[in-house]
Amino acid sequence: MDCLFCRIIKGEIPSTKVFENEYVYAFRDINPMAPVHVLVVPKCHICCADAIDESNSQWVARIFEAIPIIAKQEKLENGYRVINNCGEDGCQSVKHLHFHILGGKKLPDQMA
Ligand code: 5GP
Ligand code: ZN
């Protein structure tokens, strides 16, 4: 399976790592939409939020445990946004579950 984020996790494609543990890898988005734009991914291929169930939701829990640690590291004391794009209508472009952390400025309140 040729998955971009699986390859990034394995180090086959370079990325700017901001956090890593046994379950989670986080790196800077190549096309940042805010001063801080980090992608947080599970080290297990889950295609999208729609594929989360009780057999794999522990990976999602590990991601959400990592998010406040990353936010602190990135000095997002004033808040931030966590986004997941899912499927065609959600404009998900990489089919490996990931959460965007956006911050470092006041973000627009319009979501769609
Ligand atoms: P999506 O649109 O699927 O929610 O988000 C995919 C994100 O991955 C986009 O924000 C895009 O800029 C980022 N991205 C795509 N290819 C790469 C890459 O090779 N390296 C990094 N660091 N980010 C990437
Ligand atoms: Zn993958």
Is there a domain that residue 112 lies in? no
Is there a domain that residue 111 lies in? no
Percent of the chain at pLDDT exceeding 90: 96
Longest CA span, the chain: 40
Is there a domain that residue 110 lies in? no
Site to substitute for ligand 1 among 30, 96, 100, most atoms within 8 A of C-beta: 30
Burial of 25 (0-12, 13-18, 19+ CB in 10 A): buried
What is the number of structural domains in the chain?
1
Q: Tell me the CA–centroid distance for residue 66 and ligand 1, in Å.
A: 19
Is there a domain that residue 108 lies in? no
Confidence label for 110 from pLDDT (cuts 50, 70 and 90): confident
Active site residue 98: yes
Confidence label for 112 from pLDDT (cuts 50, 70 and 90): low
